[in-house]
């Protein structure tokens, strides 16, 4: 009996200690369940960040993205590496980023294409309001209606009169089917009751020689860095800006809204989004750093050289813009029957 008593008591004590230790471990794990995300946010970034750009190198969006990447890397203390993933109106880059971990190490430097392409290519699964976390609103980039210097159009009123006098006879060159300049022209035609021939190119740079030679009658260009030298040399003429505000580098050029189409406002915009589920602490950190670098004189000079204007605002502000623009362009695509091919 004594033998049984002496072995049972230590066994119970051992079992009790094991159970208590296990319970203590579980309590620690439960209490610290949220710590990994918090710790990651506090340590962010501890390795290079990838900034995916949905367009080819050398274009206006890519140029601005590289300035932002360099400046943001300086502020974060880690390199921000630009990776170009062009194709399908930006959908290839969007899909890649959306499927990446939501840890802040893969970001998308987006243009307004994220609000246009899902509807245009009939890919509702790429609805930006459902697959991305908005991070930072960087800039707006207006489009400018440009004609050859030999064109009789010198004012927006002249331009509209020319279109109405020659329905379906003038040639308009865009940077491609489904791009912002293509859809802006579709919207303009619908608003003004005009018709013209759309000729898509692989980028504004490819269309520019034909505008200079007179094979194209007009463009709505967002590549102001490329066309400004020709405007200054008198080979091209800026007729009007497509946005509500005039372009800072062309202050004497009126807008369509203030002349022939009241309320007209269409241009591209740029910013940074991340995969859905990005911790708010990381989104806020990046947003704050972008807000700071948008006040940097070198950054502002780089933006203005592309005809871009800095914006800023909170992640929530950017999210509201994306929702509004997605609804707007989805409606335009549906009403006008615009297509990507």
CB 86 within 8 A of CB 153: no
Q: What is the pLDDT along the chain (341 residues), one digit of tens a residue?
A: 333 434 444 454 544 554 455 444 444 344 444 445 556 567 899 999 999 999 888 878 899 999 999 999 999 999 999 999 988 888 999 999 999 999 999 999 999 999 999 998 889 999 999 999 999 999 998 899 999 999 999 999 999 999 999 999 999 999 888 788 999 999 999 999 999 999 999 878 889 999 999 999 999 998 888 898 999 999 999 999 999 889 888 999 999 999 999 999 998 999 999 999 999 999 999 999 999 999 999 999 989 888 888 999 999 999 999 999 999 999 988 887 877 76
Q: What is the CATH number of domain 42-141+268-336?
A: 3.40.190.150
Indicate the pTM of the whole model: 0.81
**CATH for 144-241 (3.10.310.70, 3.40.50.300, 3.40.190.10, 3.40.718.10):** 3.40.190.10
CB 90 within 8 A of CB 53: no
DSSP 246: P
Domains of the chain, by residue range, sit at 42-141+268-336, 144-241
Instruction: Name the 3-class secondary structure at 254.
Output: coil
Task: Tell me the C-alpha to C-alpha distance, in Å, between residue 321 and each of 118, 181, 248, 252, 269.
Answer: 16, 19, 22, 28, 10
């Amino acid at each position: 009996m004594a033998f049984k008593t002496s072995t049972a008591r230590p066994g119970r004590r051992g079992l009790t200690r094991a159970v208590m230790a296990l319970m203590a471990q579980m309590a620690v794990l439960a209490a610290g369940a949220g710590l990994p995300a918090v710790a990651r946010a506090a340590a962010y970034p501890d390795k290079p960040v990838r900034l995916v750009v949905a367009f080819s190198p050398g274009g206006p969006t890519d140029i601005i993205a590289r300035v932002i990447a360099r400046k943001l890397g300086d502020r974060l203390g880690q390199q921000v590496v630009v990776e170009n993933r062009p194709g399908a109106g930006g959908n290839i880059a969007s899909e890649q980023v959306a499927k990446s971990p939501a840890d802040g190490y893969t970001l998308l430097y987006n243009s307004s294409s994220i609000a246009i392409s899902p509807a245009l290519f009939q890919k509702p699964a790429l609805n930006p309001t459902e697959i991305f976390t908005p991070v930072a609103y960087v800039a707006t980039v207006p489009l400018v209606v440009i004609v050859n210097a030999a064109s009789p159009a010198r004012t927006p009123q002249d331009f509209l009169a020319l279109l109405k006098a020659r329905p379906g006879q003038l040639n308009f060159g865009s940077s491609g089917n489904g791009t912002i300049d293509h859809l802006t022209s579709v919207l303009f035609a619908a608003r003004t009751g005009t018709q013209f021939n759309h000729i898509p190119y692989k980028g504004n740079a490819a269309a520019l020689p034909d505008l200079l030679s007179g094979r194209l009658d007009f463009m709505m260009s967002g590549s102001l860095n490329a066309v400004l030298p020709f405007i200054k040399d008198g080979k091209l003429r800026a007729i009007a800006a497509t946005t509500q505000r005039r372009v800072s580098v062309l202050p004497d050029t009126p807008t369509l809204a203030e002349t022939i189409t009241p309320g007209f406002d269409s241009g591209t915009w740029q910013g940074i989004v991340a995969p859905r589920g990005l911790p708010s602490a990381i989104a806020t950190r990046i947003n704050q750093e972008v807000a700071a670098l948008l006040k940097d004189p070198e950054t502002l000079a780089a933006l203005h050289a592309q005809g871009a204007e800095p914006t800023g605002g909170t992640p929530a502000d950017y999210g509201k813009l994306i929702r509004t623009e997605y609804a707007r362009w989805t409606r335009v695509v549906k009403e006008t029957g615009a297509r990507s091919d």
